[in-house]
Structure 1
Amino acid sequence: MEDFGKILEAIKEKNPLVYNITNFVVTNVSANALLSIGASPIMSYAKEEAIDLIKISSALLINMGTPTKKIVETMLVAAKNANKKGIPVIFDPVGVGASQFRNNIANQILSEIKVDIIKANASEIANLSGIKVQTKGVESIENIDDITNITKNLAKKFKCVICTTGKSDIISDGNKLYLCENGDIALTKITGSGCMLGSIMGATASVCKDYLKATLTACLMLGISSEIAASKTKSLGSFQVELFNALSSFSSQDFNSARYK
């Protein structure tokens, strides 16, 4: 609990800049999530400024929710320079398995980039593992048998931290494995909650080089905040407002509500 609190305080103290190459649908909510926890967001798709932005950034999120060839080119330039600089790269392979185009993008990124954290739902993780699973757009629609071991083995394969999101978030570096059980179902009913989590991981990883611990911290922060928000409203519109309120007022003491093993 003390370590989680230190990560939160470091974000507020250092105000890290998280460079987001994310999907068009979630730019606003992802930026606001970062601002709420004390980090700074920058959202850009231009390849022409990618190298300059990496120079001033503390972490990079690449999210392929609305992929185009030009955006992928920007992702590759930014991520390769992030690798050179030694800042964490978080990859959200949104919708992988839904189309060959997305599959090709994910394969290219994972073959050319050293990714530090991969955050995805169960269907996406299964597809990255070579298990063909049907998806519905960018949503997971199937229960995957043995997803815990699939997550752990994929972490070993890519030598990174994997976070498989779901009713319980599964987080592994290939050796240790955590199950994070915080979160309210309302998160699944608003746009961009998973993408917000990826951005928050950028902030936690920017101040904690133990990426397993950083990933767990991000999951707990969003999960606990969603429970606080849901306790104050039953309406989805006001839930999103209360979620940002909870994130912005989140303190080290709130980690006392953490449920993980």
Structure 2
Amino acid sequence: MSEATRHVVITGAGSGIGAAVAATFTDHGDHVHLLDISTDRLDEVVSQLPEGSSTTHQVDVTDYEAVGAVISSVIAHGPIDVFVGCAGVFDGVAGVENTSRELWNRVIDINLTGTFNVIKPVASQMIEQKSGSIVLIGSIAGTRALPDGLAYDASKAGLEGMTRRLAVDLGQYGINANLVAPGVVRTGIRATSEEILGDLVPDTNVGVGTDADLMKKLIPLQRGGDPAELAATVFFLASSGAGYISGDVVHVDGGWIAA
């Protein structure tokens, strides 16, 4: 496929890493289909992209039928070459004692099941065309138990397992699947998560990203990452240069996993 004219589907594209991924792909001449639950956030992202380089789709990734309809409309305009799964919420570092059943269900439904809801129709189309690239956004929380919450950790570990199985299932069709695992990244995930989850998130405003001294102690590079740094890694994994990389977890965490 020509990397200059690819169609890229991005979930969670209204903010943070998803918005940075959209900017990176459009900078390289790709057309991005931006999926997000918030039309306001989508409008803000599109206003910063080159004219005509994007199409927006307001959708809740937990709604399987609605997601299927959106993907069908995307395919009607051209085959999907790349899928980047960025949609996700953060549970406020809630441990088992302050994770309600409702919070657990909602986080798993968005972060893990919501990703499956999009991958299911996207993978079917990629199998038919016998090409494509899938990149999911996980977290260092998929490997480390701290500093995130129970439901968030479980969902990100689940995405790692999903990525490995996708690589096994889809490799025979020329499709690769990988996961990018960020550490601390400067995004608005806490604010957007509170907007989506509301009172389900307990008041536990802690974590490496909110403690500069702890960040310096745990992260060799002694800083948080920028969304553009994550987007650059995603772009590489979706390029022909990464065509022989599949089923891998790439940590973009300032060296945290090594410490």
Pair in the same fold by TM > 0.5: no
Give the TM-score normalised by structure 1. Answer: 0.36
In proportion to residue count, which structure has more helix?
1
TM superposition score normalised by structure 2? 0.36
